[in-house]
Amino acid sequence: MDIENKIYTLREELQHHNYQYYVLDNPEISDYDFDMKLKELQELEEKHPEFNDPNSPTQRVGGAVTKNFTTVVHDYRMYSLSNSYSKEELQDWETRIRKLVDGDIKYTCELKYDGASMSLMYDKGQLVQAVTRGDGFQGDDVTNNVKTIRSVPLKLRGDYPEKFHIRGEIVLPFEGFAKLNAERVENGEEPYANPRNTASGSLKLQDSAEVAKRPLDCLLYNIAGENLPISSQFESLEKARDWGFKVPAESELKNNIEEVLSYINYWDIHRHDLPYETDGVVVKVNDFGQQEELGYTAKSPRWAMAYKFKAEQETTKLHKITYQVGRTGAITPVANLEPVQLAGTIVKRASLHNADQIAKLDIREGDKVFVEKGGEIIPKIVGVDFKQRDPDSEPTTYAIYCPECGTELQRKEGEAQHFCPNYVGCPPQIIGRMEHFVSRKAMDIDGLGKGTIEILYYNGIINNYSDFYYLTYDDIIGQERWLDNEEAGIKKSGELQVKLGQAIYALSQGWGSITRADSEKIGNEIVYLEEIFSLNIAEISGIDEKKFKRFLMELNTAIQRVAISDYTSMEDCVSVNLLIDLKFPDHQENQPAKEALKNADYIDELLRNESFQHYPKFDDFITKISDRSRISIQKKTTENILNSVEESKKRTFDKVLFALGIRDVGEVSARKIAEHFGNIDKLMAANTEELIQLRDVGERVAASIIEFFTDEENIDIVKRLREKDLQFEMEEKETSSNKLEGLSFVVSGTFSISRSELKKHIEENGGKNLSSLSKSTNYLIVGEKMGPSKKVKAEKEGIAMISEEEFFKMIE
């Protein structure tokens, strides 16, 4: 046998055994024999590079390094799913779709796996690209990393289509997750929190050889493409299995909603027997023709619904209610909780949503509350254990003033949230708007992360997002910047923060000398330093109780001399200013505590203080904190910011409109508004009546747009952005002719060409594509297998129905 045939035969054998082992769980040879064949193939490929194949089984070991993941636009948008949390909601969904679709409806039921969504593209049976979900419109190219996952076929088998996309979840099985964490603990590293986040993080590792070491799996369930040889969802799952994909065997075809509910009841109990994390069931209308009739909303398909299993619930103590300010001025109350393990993560905080929610549940500080994860992602408080309530507790009085700028809060009639009206002077609103402006979905400006924006803002360099386009090299270079919480400390309102565990260790030196490990244990049990006095030390194993009591005595004495409320201490952290004042209250006479750590000179002066000489470890701690928490923006970062700001001028009008941060205007609605009005001048001149004519723009969105463009500061910002040549007008789409100008079309069914090609012909001739029939539709282009309900609606609305041939005669 010649070398080329030998290499080809080995590849075929290895692909077969890989499929048997990782997809069918039915190995035919031992691991040793598999490894020997793989080694033989590697040696042959190294000696004969002329027979290189990017999808060879040897490529699964990784080795490619990706420093920057390329952004790729999805050929077929990856929609989100609508959620239901009760069987009644699911039955309401079924009632709605029955009104829109004629005939029997069957459903495909699939378990909803909790992983990282992925789209794989195959061309001529070979994997050519793997892209993360991203925002649904575009994601990151992680092909090199996905190739290391052994259940992902590099080459297909059977009668696969020439080109298609298949979607699914990259998951980390419980067994592999446990093994991975055991290795990390053995190496003295922190264990990972949960399988889902670990799987997602693995896909963004730069070295694919590291990804190959992780026991990731890939479960696939959705095919997208043109003129595919399938007519239903269940058939697509069966076909995908034949082509070599790992499709969960738990998926089933059901004849009615009663059978769907039985499926849900079964898996609500038996999901814990599965090797993966699952959080619900996805129910899909099985027939593709009926799916097409039902269509999509702006965010999700009407033909699918995710039923979420009841979330895991725990009881814990609510220590304190604080308030956060968003970029629109919306105030969100936050419950700061006694840490509790929930669905694989430690939960310390949960949103309380608004004043109505607090009043409805009668939530008070000091209560024992029931916490669960909505969809097992976002923690929320669902109730209070009134049996354990302190009889002397007081009802919660909602904040009256903004916690950041002190402005009196407002609440508009009919709205649930309170707002800070200080649009131009409230720091979190200003910084939040700038963060939104530079975000990936908006202007996508590199180098301007939250930390950099904050230091430029607090140093008076920028005050709104139009200032980005007026920055110079000298404005940015050398500006001081605090590292963020993941790196060292937290900067907020001029104060440096340090983690509670570190703070306790530093304070204890000379007061009780608690070890660093014990300080971390204590820090993990509290959210604010004051809570240390109510800590039950007996419940924390290994702590020296005698030393801890001595430390508490010293700390209590120090706190009597210092007003803690004068300091900005964040959750899980302590202001270093407070830390210094607790240890050395006498130094306050030299400089106000609030000015501490704002400049290196003060630190140098403080370290020369005679009191510090008695506590060399504390001296060393403060020195290290100040040194590692203060850096400056260097040349490369400065150049990156300026180049990226310049590059952002090419972003289209819809991106710019979304970036402006108009309240209630999301990415999808910004695109539709931009396409409808065409430029900023027409939008600014539009009245409420003109705005609400657009689909997805109701009175609330219209009011937000009008309010935004009647504000003088916003008008000035738009003017400044225009002066710097940002795009405030949609580009005219190239057209072959204007024969269809003013006409709108809905395309339904299958044709001799793909629907996307047909829609392209409509746009190229000046026509407009609509997603569903309405009174404004001029023509319905009828293809084979079109749903009957569309025909009924077209006849009812008096919409002309034409064939593919008749359409092409219109544009001849």
Mean of the pLDDT values across residues 698-719?
A: 92
Q: What is the pLDDT of residue 605?
A: 56
Higher-confidence residue of 460 and 11: namely: 460
Q: What is the pLDDT of residue 24?
A: 62
- Range with the largest mean pLDDT of 74-83, 99-108, 120-129, 746-755: 120-129
For the domain that residue 170 is a member of, what is the CATH number? 3.30.470.30
pTM: 0.58
According to the annotation, is 307 in a ligand binding site?
Answer: no
Q: What is the pLDDT of residue 442?
A: 92
Mean of the pLDDT values across residues 714-725?
A: 95
Q: Are 327 and 395 contained in the same domain?
A: yes
Q: Are 497 and 583 contained in the same domain?
A: yes
What residues make up the domain containing 19? Answer: 3-61
pLDDT, one tens digit per residue, over 626-635 is 544 555 788 8
Mean of the pLDDT values across residues 2-25?
A: 73
Q: Residues in the chain, how many?
A: 812
Q: What is the pLDDT of residue 5?
A: 78
For the domain that residue 31 is a member of, what is the CATH number? 1.10.287.610
Higher-confidence residue of 55 and 402: namely: 402
Q: Quick check: 214 and 176 in contact, CB under 8 A?
A: yes
**Gap between the Cα atoms of 686 and 268, Å rounded:** 51
Of 501, 498, 507, residue with least CA distance to 618: 507
| 209 confidence band (pLDDT: 50, 70, 90) | confident
Residue where one domain finishes, among candidates 278, 308, 338: 308
| 471 confidence band (pLDDT: 50, 70, 90) | very high
pLDDT, one tens digit per residue, over 729-786 is 987 666 567 888 888 888 888 788 877 788 888 888 888 887 677 777 899 999 887 7
Residue 136: pLDDT above 50?
Answer: yes
Q: Are 126 and 255 contained in the same domain?
A: yes
- Beta strand 331-342 with 313-325: parallel, antiparallel or unpaired? antiparallel
Residue 656: pLDDT above 50?
Answer: yes
Q: What is the pLDDT of residue 267?
A: 92
Residue where one domain finishes, among candidates 693, 723, 753: 723
- Is 593 part of any domain? yes
Q: Are 271 and 186 contained in the same domain?
A: yes
- The total number of structural domains in the chain stands at 6
**Gap between the Cα atoms of 419 and 402, Å rounded:** 8
* DSSP3 helix / strand / coil % (the chain, rounded to 5): 45, 20, 40
Residue 110: pLDDT above 70?
Answer: yes
- Across the chain, mean pLDDT equals 83
Q: Are 196 and 50 contained in the same domain?
A: no
Q: What is the pLDDT of residue 436?
A: 93
According to the annotation, is 284 in a ligand binding site?
Answer: yes
Q: Are 118 and 199 contained in the same domain?
A: yes
Q: What's the Rg (C-alpha) of the chain?
A: 30
Q: Quick check: 741 and 733 in contact, CB under 8 A?
A: no
Residue 575: pLDDT above 90?
Answer: no
According to the annotation, is 768 in a ligand binding site?
Answer: no
**Gap between the Cα atoms of 409 and 392, Å rounded:** 28
| 591 confidence band (pLDDT: 50, 70, 90) | very low
Residue 340: pLDDT above 60?
Answer: yes
Residue type, 348: K
According to the annotation, is 4 in a ligand binding site?
Answer: no
Is 112 labeled as catalytic in the residue annotation?
A: yes
Q: Quick check: 156 and 243 in contact, CB under 8 A?
A: yes
Mean of the pLDDT values across residues 170-177?
A: 89
**Gap between the Cα atoms of 292 and 786, Å rounded:** 8
For the domain that residue 777 is a member of, what is the CATH number? 3.40.50.10190
Residue 319: pLDDT above 60?
Answer: yes
- Is 225 part of any domain? yes
Higher-confidence residue of 802 and 584: namely: 802
- Is 737 part of any domain? no
Phi, psi at 642, each rounded to 5°? -65, -40
Q: What is the pLDDT of residue 167?
A: 95
Mean of the pLDDT values across residues 662-689?
A: 88
Q: What is the pLDDT of residue 71?
A: 86
- Is 51 part of any domain? yes
**Gap between the Cα atoms of 90 and 84, Å rounded:** 6
DSSP code per residue over 784-808: BT--HHHHHHHHHHT-EEEEHHHHH
Q: What is the pLDDT of residue 780?
A: 92
Q: What is the pLDDT of residue 561?
A: 79
| 611 confidence band (pLDDT: 50, 70, 90) | low
Percentage of the chain surpassing pLDDT 70?
86
| 21 confidence band (pLDDT: 50, 70, 90) | low
Count CB atoms within 10 A of the CB of residue 542.
Answer: 8
pLDDT, one tens digit per residue, over 517-536 is 888 888 888 888 888 887 87
Which range among 161-175, 441-455, 594-608, 667-681 shows the weakest confidence by mean pLDDT?
Answer: 594-608
Q: Tokens 């009085």 appear where?
A: 397
Which range among 161-170, 480-489, 722-731 shows the weakest confidence by mean pLDDT?
Answer: 480-489
Residue 685 CA: distances (Å) to CA of 187, 681, 714, 758: 64, 6, 14, 35
According to the annotation, is 617 in a ligand binding site?
Answer: no
Mean of the pLDDT values across residues 384-407?
A: 91
Among candidate residues 47, 87, 99, 112, the one labeled active-site is 112
Residue 258 buriedness (CB in 10 A; 0-12 / 13-18 / 19+): exposed
Q: Are 52 and 90 contained in the same domain?
A: no
Which range among 258-262, 709-713, 731-735 shows the weakest confidence by mean pLDDT?
Answer: 731-735
For the domain that residue 369 is a member of, what is the CATH number? 2.40.50.140
According to the annotation, is 308 in a ligand binding site?
Answer: yes
Q: Are 761 and 702 contained in the same domain?
A: no
Count CB atoms within 10 A of the CB of residue 321.
Answer: 18
Residue 564: pLDDT above 80?
Answer: no
pLDDT, one tens digit per residue, over 355-375 is 998 998 999 999 999 998 754
Q: Are 413 and 453 contained in the same domain?
A: no
- In this structure, the dihedral spanned by the alpha carbons of residues 511, 512, 515 and 519, taken in order and rounded to 10 degrees, is -70
**Gap between the Cα atoms of 697 and 781, Å rounded:** 27
- Is 735 part of any domain? no
Residue where one domain finishes, among candidates 33, 61, 89: 61
Q: Are 628 and 648 contained in the same domain?
A: no
Q: Tokens 């029931």 appear where?
A: 370
Which range among 57-66, 139-148, 468-477, 525-534 shows the weakest confidence by mean pLDDT?
Answer: 57-66
Q: What is the pLDDT of residue 437?
A: 95
Residue 593: pLDDT above 50?
Answer: no
Q: Are 402 and 464 contained in the same domain?
A: no
According to the annotation, is 81 in a ligand binding site?
Answer: yes
- In this structure, the dihedral spanned by the alpha carbons of residues 571, 575, 581 and 583, taken in order and rounded to 10 degrees, is 70
**Gap between the Cα atoms of 275 and 453, Å rounded:** 44
Residue 492: pLDDT above 70?
Answer: no
Q: Are 626 and 644 contained in the same domain?
A: no
According to the annotation, is 604 in a ligand binding site?
Answer: no
Find the farthest-apart pair of alpha carbons in the chain and give their distance in angstroms, rounded: 94
According to the annotation, is 356 in a ligand binding site?
Answer: no
Higher-confidence residue of 232 and 594: namely: 232
| 624 confidence band (pLDDT: 50, 70, 90) | low
Q: What is the pLDDT of residue 723?
A: 95
Q: What is the pLDDT of residue 23?
A: 59
Q: What is the pLDDT of residue 189?
A: 65
Of 370, 362, 366, residue with least CA distance to 393: 366
Residue 404: pLDDT above 90?
Answer: no
Which secondary-structure segment (H or E) carries 179?
helix 174-186
According to the annotation, is 32 in a ligand binding site?
Answer: yes
- Is 563 part of any domain? yes
- Is 93 part of any domain? yes
Q: Quick check: 89 and 149 in contact, CB under 8 A?
A: no
Residue type, 245: F
- Is 640 part of any domain? yes
Of 769, 782, 772, residue with least CA distance to 743: 769
Which range among 520-534, 709-723, 795-809 shows the weakest confidence by mean pLDDT?
Answer: 520-534
| 597 confidence band (pLDDT: 50, 70, 90) | very low
